[in-house]
Structure 1
Amino acid sequence: MQLQPIKQSFKVQYDYQLYFTSGLFALENPLFAKLISDYKEFEPVKLLFVLDDGVKNHHPKLIHQIKSYCDSNKDNLKYTDTIVVQGGEQVKNSDTAIETVLKAINENKICRHSFVVVIGGGAVIDMVGYAAAIAHRGVKLIRIPTTVLSQNDSAVGVKNSVNAFKKKNFLGTFAPPYAIINDSDFLETLEQRDWISGISEAIKVALIKDEEFFQYIANHASALKNREMEPMQYVIYKCAEMHMHHIAQGGDPFESGSSRPLDFGHWAAHKMEFMTNYELRHGEAVAKGIALDVTYAQLIGLITESDLHHILNVMVEIGFDLSLPVNTSSEIETLMNGIEEFREHLGGQLTITLISGLGVKHDVHTIDMKVMAEAIGKLNHQFALN
C-alpha cells in the first residue's frame, strides 16, 4: 500500500501594541495595571521583572517604585522578583545572563500565563526575549525599552537573539512581545552617545522609505543633538511606526526571504561591532555602516555626490563620528568579510540594500569589492581630516 503525504496548513494571528507614556510606575499612572488586567481581569498575574543594571544605576528608586506599584494594584499584579543583569552588548556574548533569567523564571514559577517584564536597552531586551521565548516554549513578554535605539527600533520588532560563534545574533527566535511600552522619562538620563546613536535607525528607515521624514531629521539635526525632547519623541514615534508597518505589511515578518531592507547599513555595522569588541554602540556602528553604503552607492552611480554630501552632513551635524575603525589592508579585508557573513546569516542569495535616491531603496545582489575598498578609503580619508 502506498501512503500519500499528509499536508497541513494553518495561520496564526499575532497582535501586539506599542504604548507611549511617562512615569510608567507612578502610582497615578494606570497604563501598566490596565494592560495586565485586560489580559486576565479576575485574578492577579505573576510578574518577573528583569532590569538592566545601567537603568538601575540611573534610577536607584525604580525597584521600590515597581514593588509599590504592584502592591497598590495587587488585585491584578502579583510581583515575584526583580533580577538585575549587565547592560550593553556584552550581555549577549555568554550564557551567564540567559541562565540567570531562566533560573528566575523557573524559581518564580513563571508560566505561559505569567509575564516577564524586561526594562533596559536593546541588548538586554534581545537577551531576555530569547530566554522568555525558550522557557516553556514561550512565556509572555512585555518590553520596556529605555534607550532611543530600543524605543524606535530593536524593541518594536518580533526578534530576540544572543551572539555566538563570534557572530552577532547567531542564536535567536521570532517571538512577538505581548506589548511594548515606551516611557520617555528613561531617555532623560541617557549618556549623550546613547541619545545620539539611536537616531541612526531613524535615518536608516527614512533613507529607504520616506524622503520627507529624512528631511525632518535634517531640519532638526541640531535640536536632536541638543536633546530637545519634542523632535526626539517625534523621531522615535515615526521610526517605530515605520518599522512596525514594515513588519506587518512587508509580507515577510519572520524573514523567510533574502531581502532585509531594515538591515540597510547593517552588514558593516555588525562586523565593526565585533571588530571593536563591541566598544561601538550598535547605533554608532549603524551610522558608520550607512555612511559606507551610501558612499559605495555614489561610487557606482546610484546616488549623486550632492545627495551623498547631504546625508553625511546631516549625520555629522547630529554628532556621529563617521570614520571607520579600520586602517590596515588586513583590517579592511576583515571588514569586507562581513558581506559574506551577512549572506550566511540571511541565507540564500546575497541581498544588500542600498539607495538610489533619498527615500528610495535599491537592492543589489553583488558587491564590487574593489569599489567597496575604495569607499572605505574615501570615507576614512574624509573624516580622518576632520
Structure 2
Amino acid sequence: MADQERRMLKEEVITYAYILLYIALSSGQIFFNKWVLSSKEINFPYPLGLTLLHMVFSSILCFVLTKVFKIFKVEAGMTPEIYTTSVIPIGATFAMTLWLGNTAYLYISVAFAQMLKAIMPVAVFILGVAAGLEVMSCRMLLIMSVISFGVLVASYGEMNISWIGVVYQMGGVVGEALRLIFMEILVKKKGLKLNPISVMYYVSPCRHVLNIFLFKVYAMALAICLFVPWIFLEKPKMEAHGTWNVQALILTLNSLCTFALNLSVFLVISHTSALTIRVAGVVKDWVVVLVSALLFADTKLTIINLFGYGIAIAGVAAYNNSKLKKEASRSSTNDSLDVQSLTKEASSSTSDR
C-alpha cells in the first residue's frame, strides 16, 4: 500500500513538473520572441524570417528524433489524400498563426496581445459550427458573448492601442482556430492518432524529401505561406539594413526554445489530457500579462484592462468546463456502447455453443 502511494505521489509530482515546465517555456518563448523582434541590440524585426527559422529548425530536429535516433514514433496511416486535404492545411494555418502573431508584437504589447488571444474559443466555436463539429446552443452563445464582452472591455482600457497590431493578432487567432479545426478533422474524422511530434514531422520539409510528389505539394504550400511573402516583404529590408550577420547564437536558442515548448505540450498531454493544457494555458496567460508589465516598457496595464480580461477568462473557464462535460459524456456513451457490444458477443457465443 505504501509503495502504491509513493508511486501515485511520484506521478503527481512529475505531472505538476511538466505543467510548470510548459507554463515556464510558453511564457518564456513569448518574452523571448518579443525581445528578439523589438530589441535594438538584436536588430531582427522580421517576424516572417523568425517564423521560417523556427519551422526549418523544428523540421530538422523532428527528422533526427524520429528517423535517426527513433526516440519518437510517427504513427502510420498517412496517405497522399489525407496529407493533401488535412496536413497541408494544418501546416499552412500553423505558419499563418506564427507569422501574424509574431508580427503583432511589433505594434502592441505582450500583455495586450495575450488579452486579445482570449477571444480564441469564440473563433474556434464559430468555425466549429460552420464545419459541423459544434452545435449552437443558448449556453454556448452566452459563454461566447461573455468572452467577447470581456475582450472588448480589455481593449477599451488599452492606453496605447495600435489597430494594425490588433488586426495582425486577430489574424493569428483565426489561423490558430483554423489549425485546431483541421486537427480535429484529421484526428477524429479520419481516424489518425497523432501526437505533437508526429504533426511537426508530417508538416516538416525534411520528411517529404523521401516522397517527391508530396514534397512538391508541400513545398508549394510552404512557399505560398511563408517563403514567397518573406522574399517580397522582408528580404529587401534585410539586405538594405545589412542584417544578415545577426547573432546566430541568440536565434538558435530562440528556435530551440520553440521546439522545447512543443515537446512540453506533448509531455503534458501524454500525462494528463488536452483539457489540462487549456487550463494551464489560462494560468500561463495571466503570468504573461502580469510579468510583461515588469519586463517591457511598452506595457501599461489599467484597471479596465484587467477587469475586462478577468471577464474574458471567466468565459474561457466556462467554455473549458463545458468541453470537459461534453468529453466525459462522450466517453460514458462509448463505454456504454462497448458494454452492449460485449453483451451481444457473449450472447451470440452462448447461442452458438
**Smaller-chain TM-score bracket:** under 0.3
More helix by share: 2
* TM-score relative to the length of structure 1: 0.24
Greater RCO, CA 8 A, separation 6+? 2
More strand by share: 1
* TM-score relative to the length of structure 2: 0.26
